[in-house]
């Protein structure tokens, strides 16, 4: 099955560079469009792909002065990228990216360089209406147990604006790697592993 590995190679307020590497040889074309945000009126621009020098089979797009993703302003860039392999077969990959900078400093979580106050809520399932209600109540982090609903929760959180912490993780590494392609994925914890996010740390 054709898969597209996505790497945010560089994210700064000045410029973001995203790399795309298909798991089979071919030519990747298309554009990412954005930014778009549920809570803001934006002018969307298309950002084309170009081969990465010295990295055969990898393509990149560069976004100047990107609109960064956070739960308050979940800006997204998205588009359908088309892979044409050596046999001429075509595979389409829908890509959605939220560009963000997250790090821990002196016991505090910094999101895009600013302190982030965690206001968590445990959920088992999620739809857009419920997500908007939780957001209206002030929640900005969702704690979920590893289940079949994780992907849906992450997709909704990307758009509505939440970080997601996945607990009691027992899924295979490939599935967990796909979670990390979502800007909303903040942390994953295996059974018995200390959950620092619950204590307000990264």
Residue holding tokens 């909303």? 184
First to last CA, the chain: 35
User: How many C-beta neighbours within 10 Å does residue 48 have?
Assistant: 12
User: Does 129 lie in the same domain as 63?
Assistant: no
When pLDDT is cut at 50, 70 and 90, the band that residue 190 belongs to is: confident
- Using a cut of 0.75, tell me whether the model's pTM lies above it: yes
User: Does 144 lie in the same domain as 63?
Assistant: no
- Of the residues 81, 97, 113, the one at which a domain ends: 97
User: How many C-beta neighbours within 10 Å does residue 110 have?
Assistant: 15
Pairing of strands 141-145, 163-167: parallel
Q: What is the mean pLDDT of residues 127-136?
A: 97
User: Does 63 lie in the same domain as 134?
Assistant: no
User: Does 57 lie in the same domain as 40?
Assistant: yes
Question: Residues 171, 177, 183, 185: what is their CA dihedral angle, to the nearest 10 degrees?
Answer: 30
Domain with residue 50: its CATH number is 2.60.40.10
User: Does 113 lie in the same domain as 81?
Assistant: no
Taking only the tens place, the pLDDT of each residue in 62-87 is 999 999 999 999 999 999 999 998 88
User: Does 120 lie in the same domain as 84?
Assistant: no
Taking only the tens place, the pLDDT of each residue in 10-66 is 999 999 999 999 999 999 999 999 999 999 999 999 999 999 999 999 999 999 999
When pLDDT is cut at 50, 70 and 90, the band that residue 201 belongs to is: very low
User: Does 78 lie in the same domain as 16?
Assistant: yes
CB neighbour list of residue 177: distance below 8 Å, 6 or more residues apart: none
Domain with residue 148: its CATH number is 3.40.50
Task: Pick the more confident residue, 170 or 2.
Answer: 170
**Nearest in space to 78 (alpha carbons), one of 123, 18, 151, 168:** 18
The range of the structural domain enclosing residue 91 comes to 4-97
């Amino acid at each position: 099955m054709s898969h597209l590995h996505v790497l945010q190679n560089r994210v700064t307020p000045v410029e973001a560079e995203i790399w795309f590497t298909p798991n089979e040889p071919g030519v990747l074309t298309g554009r990412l469009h954005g930014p778009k945000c549920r809570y803001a009126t934006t002018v969307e621009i298309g950002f084309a792909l170009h081969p990465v020098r010295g990295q055969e089979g990898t393509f990149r797009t560069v976004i100047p002065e990107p609109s960064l993703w956070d739960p308050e302003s979940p800006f997204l860039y998205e588009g359908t990228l088309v892979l044409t392999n050596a046999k001429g077969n075509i595979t389409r990959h829908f890509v959605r990216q939220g560009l963000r900078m997250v790090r821990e400093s002196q016991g505090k979580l910094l999101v895009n360089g600013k302190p982030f106050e965690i206001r968590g809520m445990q959920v088992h399932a999620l739809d857009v209406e419920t997500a908007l209600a939780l957001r209206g109540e002030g929640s900005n982090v969702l704690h979920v147990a590893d289940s079949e609903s994780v992907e849906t929760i992450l997709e909704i959180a990307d758009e509505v604006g939440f970080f997601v912490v996945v607990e009691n993780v027992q899924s295979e590494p490939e599935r967990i790697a796909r979670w990390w392609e979502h800007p909303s994925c903040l942390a994953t914890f295996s059974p018995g592993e200390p959950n620092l996010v619950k204590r307000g740390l990264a």
